[in-house]
Amino acid sequence: MPRKNTQKTNLKQYLENYNFTKTSNIRKKKGKLYLPNVYCHNGHRLITSEELFDGFKAIKILALQETGGRYIYYVSPIINDQRIIGPDLPDKTPLKLCCPTCHEELQPLIPCTCRPGAMRRALFLTPKGRKSSAVGVCDTYGCPHSFVIDEGEIVYEVVKE
């Protein structure tokens, strides 16, 4: 059963005329905005059919805890859907987010405001790993803050209300 973050969030849309197509980096289907492909900085695809969210393939992330914990999380690819499948941890637990294929830590994008030292990590929208087309997810368990940038334009941002 997926864990749903109980924090209220607000989805901010910044680019009103985003062109949703069958090949765009962000897609719209059945009224839901989703990410069809995400990659680590080495070009490894993080989308998997091992778990599904409303029929959409999950994003698979390896998370390492300072105490030695090693976890696999499946994250919803639907924008502003906070569901994850994986072990429950206390909120605000710092994690090292990694690619499950190469085991390298996901690249930092910008700091997050949820706790001192928190960082939003990059899930790239293309295999080339350009920061101008990426999703920024926080490396703190339970933090709902994220954003989507495509071609250098911030398209969506999820913030706590």
Determine, yes or no, domain membership for 104.
yes
**Burial class of residue 67 (count of CB atoms within 10 Å of its CB; 0-12, 13-18, 19+):** exposed
Is pTM, for the whole model, over 0.95?
no
Determine, yes or no, domain membership for 2.
no
Q: List the chain pLDDT tens, one digit each, 161 residues.
A: 455 555 677 778 776 788 888 899 999 998 899 999 999 999 999 999 999 999 999 999 999 999 999 999 999 999 988 899 999 999 999 999 999 999 999 999 999 999 999 999 999 999 999 999 999 999 999 999 999 999 998 999 988 76
Please state the domain count of the chain: 1
- The identity of residue 48, as a single letter, is T
Determine, yes or no, domain membership for 4.
no
Show the domain range for 144: 9-160
Determine, yes or no, domain membership for 1.
no
Determine, yes or no, domain membership for 3.
no
Determine, yes or no, domain membership for 152.
yes
Please state, in angstroms and rounded to a whole number, the distance separating the CA atoms of residues 69 and 7.
25
Determine, yes or no, domain membership for 57.
yes
Nearest residue to 4 (alpha-carbon basis) of 78, 106, 105: 78
- Other beta carbons within 10 angstroms of residue 25's beta carbon come to 21
Q: How large is the greatest C-alpha to C-alpha distance in the chain, in angstroms?
A: 45
